[in-house]
Structure 1
Amino acid sequence: MKVKFKIGSLLSAIIALFVFASCDKDNNSEPEPEPTVPEESRFVIAAIPYMSYILGNGADLLYTAESLDASVILAEEQGVEQDGTYRNYASSNGLFFSLLFGQGNPGAVAVYNLNAKGELNKLSSFQTETMTAFAPVGDDILMFKNSWNPAQEYSSWYKVSTGSLEITGRGDVNTTRLAGNGELAHFSSLQQVGDKVFAPYFTMKDNFFGTEYPDSSWIAVFSYPSMQLEKVIKDDRTGAIGAYFTDCIEVDEKGDVYAIGTSLGTSNGASNNKNSTKPVAFMKINQGTTEYDKSYFFNISDVSGNAYVFRQLYLGKGNFLLMMSENHNTYANNPDKFAIANVYDKTFKWVSGLPAQIIHVSEYSSNYSPLDGETGYVGITYSEDGNSLLTSVFKFDATRATATPGLRVEGQNIITAINRVTIKKEG
C-alpha cells in the first residue's frame, strides 16, 4: 500500500517527513502494481433437440456467446455438433472439455479452446472411461469412473493435464472397503479443498441406488496429487451429500466448506419412494479442518416445507441458489422450484418470476455465477401454453429473489450446460 504524506506548515516537519519517506521508499516500498486487465471470455452453451434428449439419440450442439442477457438469440445452425448425446462439460485453465457419458463403455473426450474471435477451436480428442464424477483440480481435470456393481470392488480415477492434454495419472479405490457396510461407495462429485480432494459419496446395494443406509453422509478425503485416502468425514444428522451426478458441496470465499445433505436415498432403489428419515440440510466444515462443525446445521426441510434440494449453484457471499422440488427423486431429476438460501444468516426465500410449467433445467452443476453474491444463470426449458417449448437462460437475483429470462436458443431445444471459458492470449 502506498502512503501519501500531506505537506505541513513547518519546514522541519517537511524535511523530517521527506527524509523518512525517502528512506522508507528505498528500503521497504514495492513497485506500483500494474492495472488489472479483465480476462476476456465467452460462454459456451450446450443444447440438444428435446426429442433427441428424451430418446437418447442425436447429439449436443455447442454455442458461444459474449453475454447471457436477454438480447442474445442463438440460431440452431450456429452450433458445433458433438459426437453423441449424454455429454458432460467442464472448463479449466482456458480450456473446455466435452466428455461423452458412454453408459459403461469408453467415451470420447474432446478438448477446445477459444480463438481470438471467441470461436471454438478443437485441440485434441481421446478415449477414456465413462466418468460419473469430475472436477477441475489444480491444473488437471480429475475424473472418477464409479463401479455400478457391488460385486466389482474397485472404482477408478484419472487425471487429465490441462497442459499436455493427456492422461497423466490413474489409480483405483476399493469402494467396497470404503463403504465398510456391505454396500458399494458411489462418488456423487469432487471438490478441491486446499491441497486435498473432498469426494462425497453415498452407498448402494444395487445398481438402482437402493441402500440400507439412507440416513448418513460421508466425504472421502484424498491428498492431491497422490490421491491417497486420508480419512472419511461422517455424520448422521442428514442423508448423503448430493445425489447421482449431482454436486452439493462448495468452498466459500473464507475457505469454509458447505455441504448439502439431500436425503434422497431409498432402501429399495425406487426413485419415488422416500426412505431417509433425516431432514435436508446444510452442514459446514471449517477451513483447515476435516470434520463437520457440530455447532452448525441449517435445516432446509424446516424452512421450505419439506421440499428437496436437487441441485445448487453458489453465488458468493454465502448465497446459494437451490433448485428444488416437493417430489422425491433419487436421481435428482428436473427441479421445478427455486430458492435463495444464505448459509451465513440462515435465511431462505422462494424465487418469483419463473414459468408456471418448467420442463427441464440445465443439468448437474453446469450453470454459471460470477460469484458476486447476487447473480446466477440457469438454463430452463418451459412452456407458456402447454404445447410449444421455449428455452432461455434465466438470470437470478439473490437480493430480490427473482428470475428473468435472458439468452434464448431457437427451436425445440433444451440447454444442458453453461460454462464460462477464458480466451488465452498468445505470446
Structure 2
Amino acid sequence: MFSKRQGSQLLAGLCMTAVSLFSISCSKDKDPVDNGPGNGNGKSKFVFVVYTDGSGGEAGRYIVPIDDPTKGTLSTTGIGVETEAYSFIRQNNRLFGIVYAAQGPTTPYKLDATGKLVQAAASINTEFTGIYGAVNKDAYVGGSVNRSKESAVATLYRFDAVGNKVAGRNTVDLAKITGTDEMAVWTGLSQVGNKVYIPYYCTPGVSGENTKYVDSTWIAVFSYPELAFQKVIRDGRTGFIGNWFGMQGVQQIEDGDVYAWSTAGPSGPLKSTKPSAIIRIKKDTEVFDQSYFFDIEAATGTKLARGEYIGDGKFLMTLYATTETGGVSGGRVKLAIVDVLKKTVTNVSGVPEHAQMSYNMKVYVEADKKTAYYVMKEDSGKLYLYVIDVATATGKQGLYFQGISDVTSITKLDY
C-alpha cells in the first residue's frame, strides 16, 4: 500500500502523464445494473469516494456511505473509511478499490448488517490496472497499461468478485492487434454478450511521436472467460472511441444492439477531421452498422464529451459548450439526455453550464431508470450532487460536499 504522500505523488504523476500524451477525458467507477446480494435487510446506501481538501486536517481519500443524496451535506467526519485505492468498480454488491501501482492491490468493501462500511475480505494483488469493466454478476476484467513499442505486452485478468481472487490471465501484444505499424492504447472495457469489447486508439509507442491514425474507430474483441484476442472492428466515419481511464464509450442496450460514441478528438495530436458522432453495432454482428450514424456535431453544433447509460436507449451525456474541448479535464460542458433510438438531444434544465471535472462523469442511475445522480463542481468551486429527472430532463441541486476537493466515484450498496 502507498502512503498518503506517495498516493498524492502517484496521482500527480498519472495526471501529468495523461495530459502529455493526449487530450481526452477519463473514471474510476463503473456500475453493473445488478445490485447483487445484500444482507437481507432490504436497505441500501449511496457510497461516494472523495478527496478531502485538507481543511479539517491532512488531505486524504475516503469512502463515505450516506442514506439520502438528494439533500443535506456530506463530510468524512466520523463516517469515512480511508483508502489508498485509486480506481473503484462495483460488482456482487461490493465496491472493489484498486491501487494504481505495479501489483494493483485490490480491496473489497461492503456494508455490514447495520449499514456501516467495512472491508469485505483480504486485499489481493492483481495488475497495474488501467482499464476495467464488470462482466456478468460475479466478475470483472481489468487490463494493465503499456505505451512503449519496445515493451508492448499488456495483461488482461479476470477477477472473481465472489471468491475474491484472480481467476485467469492472458497476455496481449498491443503492437500486433492494430494491423498497422503502431500499437494500441486501450481506452475502456465493456461486456457485449459473451465477449469483451476494448476500444482503443493508436500510438507509435515512441516518445515525442504522434499517431498518423486519427480518423478511425477501433474496437478489439476478446473471448470470455479466456480473454483471447479475436479480431478488430473498425469504422472510418468518426474518431476513436472512449477516453483513457474513462471506462466509457461502448454500451450494449436492452435490445442487444451496441452503441459507441466518439468526441472525434480534442485539440492536439489526437484531433480528428471527422465529426463527433454515435455509431452502432447490431445485435449478434461484429461490424459497424453502415445504416446508422448519429452526427452529434450536425445536430447540436458541438462535440460530445462523455456519456453514461440510463436505459431504454437514453444516455446522460455532456456536450462541450464552446469550441474548446478538454482533456482529462477542462472545457466547459452542458448536460443532456441523448436518445440513440430517436436520435434526439435534450438539454437538461436546472443544471448550469460548468467546467468539466477530471476523468469521467460521476453518475449513478436508479434501477427504475427514472432518476440519475450527477456530481459537478460549480463555478464557485463548491461540489454538489444534482438529481436528474429523466422523463422531464430537469435537474435540481442535492447533496453538498463539505471539505471535499473531488468526488471520484458514486455507487449504491445493499445491506
For this structure pair, what is the TM-score category when the shorter chain's length is used for normalisation? 0.7 to 0.9
In the alignment, the residues of structure 1 paired with residue 104 and residue 332 of structure 2 have an alpha-carbon distance, to the nearest angstrom, of: 28
Asked whether 1:354 is paired with 2:351, we answer yes
> Superposition pairs for residues 274-423 of structure 1, below 5 Å?
275-306=271-302, 308-325=303-320, 326=322, 327-331=324-328, 333=330, 336-355=333-352, 358-359=354-355, 361=357, 363-364=359-360, 366-370=362-366, 372-384=368-380, 389-423=381-415
In the alignment, which residue of structure 2 is the partner of 1:210?
210
Change beyond 3 A, Cα 1:362–1:62: farther
Please tell me whether Structure 1 or Structure 2 has the larger radius of gyration of its CA atoms. 1
In the alignment, which residue of structure 2 is the partner of 1:40?
43
In the alignment, the residues of structure 1 paired with residue 333 and residue 195 of structure 2 have an alpha-carbon distance, to the nearest angstrom, of: 34
Shift of 1:89: 0.8
In the alignment, the residues of structure 2 paired with residue 422 and residue 185 of structure 1 have an alpha-carbon distance, to the nearest angstrom, of: 38
Partner-residue secondary structure (3-state), 1:244: coil
Partner-residue secondary structure (3-state), 2:175: helix
In the alignment, the residues of structure 1 paired with residue 250 and residue 367 of structure 2 have an alpha-carbon distance, to the nearest angstrom, of: 15
Change beyond 3 A, Cα 1:333–1:210: farther
Q: Which runs of 5+ in 1 are unaligned?
A: 1-36, 270-274
Larger RCO (alpha carbons 8 Å, 6+ apart): 2
Change beyond 3 A, Cα 1:328–1:284: same
Shift of 1:294: 0.9
In the alignment, which residue of structure 2 is the partner of 1:33?
none
> Superposition pairs for residues 17-416 of structure 1, below 5 Å?
40-50=43-53, 58-70=59-71, 72-77=72-77, 78-83=79-84, 87-102=86-101, 105-122=102-119, 123-138=121-136, 139-206=138-205, 210-246=210-246, 247-264=248-265, 268=269, 275-306=271-302, 308-325=303-320, 326=322, 327-331=324-328, 333=330, 336-355=333-352, 358-359=354-355, 361=357, 363-364=359-360, 366-370=362-366, 372-384=368-380, 389-416=381-408
In the alignment, the residues of structure 2 paired with residue 321 and residue 209 of structure 1 have an alpha-carbon distance, to the nearest angstrom, of: 35
Partner-residue secondary structure (3-state), 2:297: helix
Shift of 1:360: 5.3
For 1:308-362, what per-residue CA distance to the aligned partner results, in whole angstroms no more than 9, with x for missing partners? 3222111111111112323223436565221111111111122222245x35537
Q: Which runs of 5+ in 2 are unaligned?
A: 1-39
For 1:228-253, what per-residue CA distance to the aligned partner results, in whole angstroms no more than 9, with x for missing partners? 22221110000011121121111111
Change beyond 3 A, Cα 1:332–1:219: farther
Shift of 1:41: 2.5
Tell me the TM-score normalized by structure 2.
0.82
The question of whether the paired residues in 1 share the 8 Å contact of 2:334 and 2:352 is answered with no
Shift of 1:261: 1.9
The question of whether the paired residues in 2 share the 8 Å contact of 1:361 and 1:415 is answered with no
For 1:106-157, what per-residue CA distance to the aligned partner results, in whole angstroms no more than 9, with x for missing partners? 3332111211122211022133322111011132121011212122221111
Shift of 1:168: 1.6
For 1:179-228, what per-residue CA distance to the aligned partner results, in whole angstroms no more than 9, with x for missing partners? 12111111111111111111111111246893211110011111100112
The question of whether the paired residues in 2 share the 8 Å contact of 1:248 and 1:260 is answered with yes
Tell me the TM-score normalized by structure 1.
0.80
Partner-residue secondary structure (3-state), 2:170: strand
RMSD: 2.4
In the alignment, the residues of structure 2 paired with residue 334 and residue 167 of structure 1 have an alpha-carbon distance, to the nearest angstrom, of: 38
In the alignment, the residues of structure 2 paired with residue 254 and residue 170 of structure 1 have an alpha-carbon distance, to the nearest angstrom, of: 31
> Superposition pairs for residues 3-14 of structure 1, below 5 Å?
none
In the alignment, which residue of structure 2 is the partner of 1:24?
none
